[in-house]
Structures are given as C-alpha cells and as structure tokens.
Amino acid sequence: MAKVKIEKFIDGKHETSFSVPAFVLGIARTLLPESALSSLANSGINVREILEARDKGVAYATSVDVCEHGINKKVVVSLA
C-alpha cells in the first residue's frame, strides 16, 4: 500500500515526520473544495499529481519552504 510521507525541517534540522495511506489523500481530494486544492497546488503540494504518481507506480516528492514568525521551515511531501 502506497503511503504519503510528510517531513518537517526547521532551520535544516529534521523536526518531525509522519505517514498516511495514500488513499486518505484520495478521500481528501474528494472532500476538499477546488479552491483549497488549487491553493495547495500553488504552494507546491499538488494533490492530483501525487495521486497520479501513485496510480502509475512512480516516485514523487516535492517540498515547500515557509517562514513562520521568522523561523525557516521546509515541508517535504513524498510518495513512499
């Protein structure tokens, strides 16, 4: 079963990570409004592309850099 792994790095150091079954992302795609999916895609997390990669059995990874309250963070989303 494919899983989506989400990792968070703060100032380049691994802070936390967790995985969810990829089918959960499929459910989220159905439940989330188009505006939320578009916003995620514009931020670098394209739910449709992740699910297409899962269906094709190919690797997928993306990352998003964020600065919150002056702290640099990176979120990495990958298909495992």
The beta strand positions in 1-80, using DSSP E, are: 3-10, 13-21, 61-68, 71-79
Overall number of domains in the chain:
1
61 close to 78: Cβ distance less than 8 angstroms: yes
Contacts of 3 (CB under 8 A, 6+ apart): 19, 20, 21, 22, 79, 80
Q: Tens of pLDDT along 37-66?
A: 999 999 999 999 999 999 999 999 999 999
Q: Which domain holds residue 13?
A: 3-79
User: What pTM did the predictor assign?
Assistant: 0.86
pLDDT score of 17 more than 90: yes
| Average pLDDT score over residue span 14-23 | 96
